[in-house]
Amino acid sequence: MTDSNGNEVRMDEVKLIVDLQERIGRKLNDLRYADSESAGNIVHHLAEVAVLGNKLFTVSVPKLLALPAERSPELADIAVEIQHDLSEMKEAIDDIELQLIKFVNFLNR
């Protein structure tokens, strides 16, 4: 499976994102957050950022730290993966920022 940019997406990541989206969506419904466009963006992008951040913490950075310097081609591959994940996270954060402001304003009313 590939993402919108043609990059390979692991099925376990997709499952984690979908599961987390469902949980976030239920929470927003429980809070009666009715702005469907804003809620949809929050559900989608927050789950994506959370899963990618977890991947960086549990997989990518530990792999980078574990490899010795003489394995530079593998280190470069990991660095490219990290760069890709960070780019995806940045894009998702940019897309969610205004929606989170709306959500915070809703919660503080």
Nearest CA-CA partner of 53 in 108, 90, 22, 94: 90
Residue 10 and residue 23: Cα distance in Å, rounded? 20
Position 5 in a domain: no
Average pLDDT over residues 68-97: 96
Identify whether 49 is part of a domain.
yes
Report the C-alpha gap between 15 and 56 in whole angstroms: 17
Q: If you search the block for the tokens 């920022």, which residue do you land on?
A: 97
pLDDT on residue 79: 97
The verdict on residue 70 lying in a domain is yes
The residues pairing with 2 across neighbouring beta strands, listed in sequence order, are 8
User: Does residue 81 form part of some domain?
Assistant: yes
Residue 1 has a pLDDT of 44
Q: Is the pLDDT of residue 6 over 50?
A: no
In a domain, 2, yes or no: no
Give a yes or no: residue 21 inside a domain: yes
| Residue 1 belongs to some domain of the structure | no
Domain extent for 49: 11-107
Q: At what angle do helices 36-55 and 11-30 cross, to 10 degrees?
A: 140
pTM, full prediction: 0.84
Indicate the average pLDDT of the chain. 91
Other CB atoms within a 10 A radius of the CB of residue 10 amount to 11
pLDDT of residue 9 exceeding 70: no
Q: How many domains does the chain have?
A: 1
Q: Is residue 6 part of a domain?
A: no
